[in-house]
Amino acid sequence: MSECTLEREESAQLLKRLPQSYKARWSSERKALVVEAVQTGAMSFAAAQARYRLSRNEYLTWEDAFGKDGVKGAHARNRLARGG
């Protein structure tokens, strides 16, 4: 399987896990998924902004919450906070 095909499959899987609309209950995990989708290019910021009715400031707040280490760092911090 080529690297491009693998990246497309990973993007498709990520997009399937995203909330379908702005009416979702916004857990930190769902926010992290949106940030990950935008950071990896699976979804453009414009598409996320339209789908979830996000302001640039709100998205940047979510992104900032996950720190310099991105989504992976946020997940690691969440596991530590839960004692995992």
Residue-level pLDDT at 9? 82
Cβ(53)–Cβ(46) under 8 Å?
no
- Nearest to residue 29, comparing CAs of 18, 16, 40? 18
| Number of domains, the chain | 1
Cβ(49)–Cβ(34) under 8 Å?
no
* CATH number reported for the structural domain that contains residue 62 in this entry: 1.10.10
Q: How many helices (H) and strands (E) does the chain have?
A: 5, 0
Domain of residue 29 covers 3-18+25-81
Phi, psi of 80 (to 5 degrees): -65, -40
| Cα 14 to Cα 35: distance, rounded to the nearest angstrom | 11
Residue-level pLDDT at 74? 57
pLDDT along the chain (84 residues), means of 10: 70 88 88 92 95 95 78 54 51
Residue-level pLDDT at 51? 95
Q: Reduced to 3 states, what is the DSSP secondary structure of residue 44?
A: coil
Cβ(80)–Cβ(47) under 8 Å?
no
Residue-level pLDDT at 31? 92
**pTM flag (> 0.75):** no
